[in-house]
Amino acid sequence: MTKWAWSPAWQQKDIEIKQKNLVYDGFFKMTEFHLRHRCFSGEWSPWLVREQIRRQDAAAILLVDLTHETLVMVEQIRIGLLGTLEKSPWMLEIVAGLLEPGESAEETIRREAQEEAHCQVSHLVKIGEFYNTPGGFAEKTMLFCAQVNQPQMEEGGVHTEHEDIRIHVLPIQDVLTAWEQGAFASSASTVIALQWLKEKMSNRQLASILKP
């Protein structure tokens, strides 16, 4: 691993929690913290009230068909877009899903690729991992890429989970061009994956990276 000069100024022990209340327990869990923390000056901050939203960590995958030079993407309704300035709450994005208890990120994303996009995934390439919105959300996403054969079906998702998903097989260059021109809004995992894809294609590294 490359030697890295930065390290955080303080640790978990440098936060003092006076009170912790679970204020909502649904699809997400919201916890209200009454806390104070060390400042860069070394002094303590005032007592603060902050909320944290938590659920399982997630995994996402960029599905690439190199033979046909296409991406396999999915479209589904995203409640987070309701009431925003977006024209539609239906979003085009890469396959993603939440980790089940006892499941690894690799196991999760193989399952999700099959359920959402009818794609069989074997060799996985890890792009990276990130916290989606660390200002208040505890969720971390593990991001992957894989070479697949494009599916023949147009609908995906698990009906018992009320998933309503449309599968899109799109030319790679068309997706990159549309994204660069701002033709569609998407998730952070999709944007990061497309940035990674563009870099690897410009360096002509994609085929060798995805080769088992």
List binding-site positions.
96, 112, 116, 163
The candidate with the shortest Cα–Cα distance to 190, out of 84, 72, 57, 62, is 62
Mention every residue, 6+ apart, whose C-beta is less than 8 A from residue 2.
none
Q: Is 161 a catalytic residue?
A: yes
Residue 24 to residue 29: CA distance in whole angstroms: 6
**Annotated catalytic residue, options 93, 107, 161, 180:** 161
User: Residue 105, Cβ neighbours under 10 Å: how many?
Assistant: 21
Distance between CA atoms of residues 181 and 175, nearest Å: 10
Residue numbers in the known binding site for Mg(2+) are: 96, 112, 116, 163
Q: Which are the catalytic amino acids?
A: 161
